[in-house]
Amino acid sequence: MAVVPYQKESGSSMEKAEAVQLMFDSIAHRYDLLNDLMTAGMHRRWKLLTVKEAVGSGTNGVLDIACGTGDLAFLFKKSGVEKVIGIDFSENMLKVALNRGSENKEENVLFSRADALELPFQDDLFEGVATGFSLRNVDGIGKMFSEVYRVLKPGGRFASLELTHMKSEVIDRLFRIYFNNIVPILGGFITGDRAAYDYLPDSIANVPDAEEVGLMMEQVGFNFIKVKKLGFGSVALVRGIK
């Protein structure tokens, strides 16, 4: 399948897309370890909750957008979903996911490189779609949500897990100290690529807050929006139903 990174634009947007893609390629080999260290393992619980929000009764096929190393995809399979597809724009992330699938002999979990802004799937195909920590890397969140809505069957569920802006000024200040100072050092030590983790705090500034994400889902047609704050308010799980 011939596909492109998430941001399919010319000029600076395309340059940013390529830079982000190379960044994720460079840290893929230590990505899971860093997630465990940065969140004290809490990201695993958040992802499990995301899967539960995206799976309804009779869910047979789901799509994991920006699947990374496959955490959500494999959780979907363990939850009983028959067919799971994970897409990402980082080849090295997909290689890790494929290796995990082979080692665990996971069947009916497929991975492919694809563009979240132009999903290569027919209309009304999936019962569930989820994405984890991808919005800050997408130059066109509304377009992505429109594509998600298109490929979901009526009644299908979409769950988005993402960092969000914190309401408490004190906690937000501590959070920023952690992400601006400690995370880059930790990331650089573990992966050898500090620049990749310098990007993380910068990217958070461009992420809409949880309530705005819910409004953006409504604007493309989703109903029954549900917002749940996790990680002391630093992470938002937002769900909508087509």
Torsion of CA 143, 149, 152, 158, to 10 degrees: 90
Report the pLDDT averaged over residues 66-83: 95
Helix, coil or strand: residue 91: helix
Please provide residue 16's backbone torsions phi and psi, each rounded to the nearest 5 degrees: -65, -45
What's the confidence (pLDDT) of residue 16?
58
Joined together, the tokens standing for residue 204 give 């958070």
Joined together, the tokens standing for residue 102 give 């082979």
The Cα–Cα gap between 136 and 203 comes to 6
The Cα–Cα gap between 135 and 46 comes to 16
Whether the pLDDT of residue 11 is over 60: the answer is no
pTM of the model: 0.85
Whether the pLDDT of residue 5 is over 70: the answer is no
Whether the pLDDT of residue 9 is over 50: the answer is no
Kindly provide the b/e burial profile for residues 19-30, where b requires at least 16 CB atoms within 10 angstroms of the residue's own CB: ebbebbbbbbbb
Q: Label residue 36 by pLDDT band (50, 70, 90).
A: confident
User: CA dist 214 to 19, 106, 176, Å?
Assistant: 28, 33, 24
What's the confidence (pLDDT) of residue 27?
74
CATH of 12-241, one of 3.30.420.40, 1.10.10.410, 3.40.50.150, 3.40.920.10: 3.40.50.150
Question: What are the pLDDT digits (tens) for 171-219?
Answer: 667 777 776 777 767 766 666 766 666 666 667 777 889 999 999 999 9
Please provide residue 140's backbone torsions phi and psi, each rounded to the nearest 5 degrees: 140, 60
Where exactly are the structural domains of the chain?
A: 12-241
Residue 214: closest CA among 185, 236, 182: 236
Question: What are the pLDDT digits (tens) for 156-170?
Answer: 999 999 988 877 666
Report the pLDDT averaged over residues 118-138: 95
Question: What are the pLDDT digits (tens) for 109-120?
Answer: 999 999 899 999
What is the per-residue DSSP string for 160-212? EEEE---S-HHHHHHHHHIIIIIHHHHHHHHHS-HHHHHHHHHHHTTSPPHHH
The Cα–Cα gap between 35 and 141 comes to 23
- Tokens 């230590």 label which residue? 30
- Which residues pair with residue 202 across a beta bridge? none
